[in-house]
């Protein structure tokens, strides 16, 4: 007798449904955390915003604090995926890799301004273990940006004495855009990305050249008459 197998994708569909419902809860909670603050928001408020009961929330999260921690994890994972997109490219140009990283970093902060504000304002409500985890992710991020600056210095296209300090300056510039940027202001998101990327290149002392720029041969090339071009 042939063994019956479970329908393919059954478990995957359930997982997708669960993740979808968790995302609905997280998004609703994020809106309330942003508008009221974490401490003034209750699970009843989150449930009311979704039109569900509090037991429904408990099906997916054990507390308001676990929602906040999951929010932090998802935002950092999303940011990491976006800024490391340059790794998929075979382009060795350190300037282009740096530009790709910084532009994605800026754009993600603009797209998720509310999340950026929550992360800066509500980190104090995380557990010590989660704060340590977040610090580790921040340091990994800073080291990655620093390594891109160092690559440019080694290639002779960036001129900066302290790559780590330059990276921190760039991160500080980007992380606070949620405080003042408005989509209805004088700069569009694309324009701000372009201007901030240019500013980041100035911070690292970009020389304006790229490693692929062709260098003239020593002594010049001679033509058939034996004269230099």
Closest of 93, 91, 175 to residue 141, by C-alpha = 175
More confident residue, 87 or 184: 184
User: What is the average pLDDT across 46-72?
Assistant: 95
For a pLDDT cut of 90, what percent of the chain falls above it?
A: 55
Q: How buried is 10 (Cβ within 10 angstroms: 0-12 exposed, 13-18 middle, 19+ buried)?
A: exposed
Instruction: Kindly state the DSSP code that residue 176 receives in the 8-state scheme.
Output: T
Q: What is the pLDDT of residue 112?
A: 83
* CA 55 centroid distance within chain: 33
CA distances from 44 to 29, 53, 71 (A): 11, 8, 18
Q: What is the pLDDT of residue 163?
A: 96
61 pLDDT above the threshold of 70:
yes
CA dist 213 and 13 (Å) reads 51
What value does the mean pLDDT take over residues 61-82?
A: 91
CB contact set of 53 (below 8 Å; sequence gap of 6+): 47
Look at residue 212 in the predicted model and tell me its pLDDT.
Answer: 63
Spatial separation of the C-alpha atoms in residues 141 and 39, rounded to whole Å? 29
Confidence grade of residue 195 (pLDDT, cut at 50, 70, 90): very high
Q: How confident is the model at residue 5 (pLDDT cuts 50, 70, 90)?
A: very low
Give tens-digit pLDDT for 72-119: 999 888 888 888 887 777 778 999 999 999 999 998 888 888 888 898
How far is it, in rounded angstroms, from Cα 202 to Cα 196?
A: 10
SS3 112: coil
As a whole number of angstroms, the distance between CA 4 and CA 18 comes to 26
How many residues belong to the chain? 229
Give the DSSP letter of residue 183: T
| Residue of 111 and 44 predicted with greater confidence | 44
Largest pairwise CA distance in the chain: 90
pTM of the model: 0.77
Query: Residue 67: which pLDDT band, with cuts at 50, 70 and 90?
Result: very high
Greater confidence (86 vs 1) lies with 86
pLDDT at residue 213, as a whole number: 54
Q: Answer for the pair 101, 83: CB distance below 8 angstroms, yes or no.
A: yes
Kind and range of the H or E run holding 94: helix 94-111
141-181 confidence digits (pLDDT tens) = 899 999 999 999 999 999 999 999 999 999 989 888 878 88
- The backbone torsions φ and ψ at residue 83, rounded to the nearest 5 degrees and listed phi first, read -75, -20
């Amino acid at each position: 007798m042939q063994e019956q197998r479970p329908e393919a994708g059954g478990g995957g569909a359930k997982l997708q449904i669960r993740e979808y419902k968790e995302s609905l809860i997280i998004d609703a909670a994020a809106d309330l955390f942003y508008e009221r603050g974490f401490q003034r928001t209750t699970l009843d408020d989150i449930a009311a915003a979704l039109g569900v009961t509090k037991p429904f929330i408990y099906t997916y999260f054990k507390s308001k604090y676990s929602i906040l921690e999951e929010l932090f994890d998802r935002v950092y994972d999303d940011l990491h995926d976006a800024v490391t997109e340059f790794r998929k490219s075979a382009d060795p140009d350190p300037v282009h890799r740096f530009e790709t990283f910084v532009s994605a970093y800026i754009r993600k902060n603009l797209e998720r301004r509310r999340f950026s504000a929550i992360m800066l304002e509500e980190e104090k409500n995380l557990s010590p273990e989660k704060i340590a985890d977040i610090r580790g992710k921040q340091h990994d991020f800073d080291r990655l940006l620093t390594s891109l600056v160092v690559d440019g210095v080694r290639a002779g296209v960036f001129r900066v004495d302290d790559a780590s300090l330059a990276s921190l300056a760039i991160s500080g510039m980007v992380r606070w855009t949620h405080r003042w940027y408005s989509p209805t202001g004088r700069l569009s998101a694309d324009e701000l990305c372009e201007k901030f990327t240019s500013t980041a290149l100035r911070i690292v002392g970009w020389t304006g050249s790229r490693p692929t720029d062709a260098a003239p041969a020593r002594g010049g090339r001679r033509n058939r008459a034996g004269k230099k071009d």
